[in-house]
Amino acid sequence: MTSTHPNEAAVLDSDQDVAASLSLQLHTLGIRARYYQSRQRLLEELDRRRPQLVVLALEPGRIDGIAVLRDLARLGYVGAVLLLSGVERKVVRIAERVGRTLGLLMLDSLPKAFRLAELRQRLDGLHPLPRKRCRTEAGVAPRIGEEIERALTQGEFLVYYQPQLELAGQRISGVEALVRWRHPRRGLLVPGQFLGAMTPEQYRRLTRCMLMGVMADAVLWPALQGLDSISVNVTPEELMSEELLLMMEELRAGLAKAPPLVLEVTETAAMDDELLGGEVAARLHLHGLELAIDDFGVGFSSLARLQMLPVSELKLDRSFVSHLQEEPLDAAIVEAVALLGRRLGIRVVAEGVESLGTLEALARYGCTHAQGYALAPPMPAAALAGLLTRRAG
């Protein structure tokens, strides 16, 4: 029987000094680290040791980090991957995109020089792993598929809310509804740990659970009526569903003086789906619903198509925001998107704000709103109600 190490990390790096420093910081966070200089040795031990985390150096040299990502996906690795970067951000973004496309749980990367607080923030929410990924023909792990079915039936999915700050007025202007799974054995799980295992039908039911949860929470909060928006993430398939419009009408009817409901869809999905540029987006607008493009900047949008969409919000991907003050290229992209937003008359929300020092630069570049752990983490309804009440007072 193979051993399980839910608090173990595997570190693949050719620089022993960096690996030693990282191992010490991981130990401070309660995670044992095993150091590998050989890609082959790591892959040989991956299934036997089952580390919760793989920290992979991305740098010129003997280790091809992108090839390792493909190896991890081929072997069905279900843990998290953290890139430790010694190369320019363009290359890091490509590697992150490759990992996500392969189905890996990619954490936000770290530069080679980083603080313990940054490492802790990246690892927030990690939990022990399931024993093994066994895929069916549909590509869904049978065990977790059964657990998701039970969770949907028994109400284990929770709605958490992350506030958005309006930079001009320094007020909480909106919230994004985010799902969490209160797993009976593994604790509180974040979306990256289960969304990929859901079938389209389960995801549809989850969306309904989220909307009903928002409605149940919102009627309890007088302070919520002062918000400008409530955002909910949906898939392109759901945007084309008649049921979604009915659910949204039901949600709006249950909220007195409800703030606008914003449906978030990723940039890649929005630009790839022709219907979003036509009938679907127009119908949403006619039903009083707003559309936001999430993770903006990581795809390759046609600006002509963007102009045609009735979009109310662009959400700048966190990869541009987290290194805004160190990377001139990131600052240029943020400024360009903010200018685009102003010209089109739509909000520009900077996601992934991890430092309050970033806010001044975001406002200077023209971003209208910000969201991230430095401002407030995702929180349950009761905590949000308390925060809104304190801010109102």
**pLDDT tens, 196-220?**
788 888 888 998 888 888 877 876 6
Q: How far apart are CA 195 and CA 127, in angstroms?
A: 15
Question: CA 141 → CA 1, 4, 145, 192, 199, distances in Å?
Answer: 21, 19, 6, 15, 10
- The residue that leads in pLDDT, 63 or 11, is 11
pLDDT(136) > 70: no
Confidence of residue 6 (pLDDT cuts 50, 70, 90): very low
The distance in angstroms from the start CA to the end CA of the chain is 58
Q: What band does 166 get if pLDDT is binned at 50, 70 and 90?
A: very high
Query: Is the pTM value of this prediction over 0.85?
Result: no
- For 61, 317, 388, the CA distances from 382, given in Å and listed in that order, are 50, 28, 10
State the Cα–Cα distance between residues 132 and 28, nearest whole angstrom: 28
Q: 75-94 burial, b for 16+ CB within 10 Å, e for fewer?
A: eebbbbbbbbbbbebebbbe
pLDDT for 256: 59
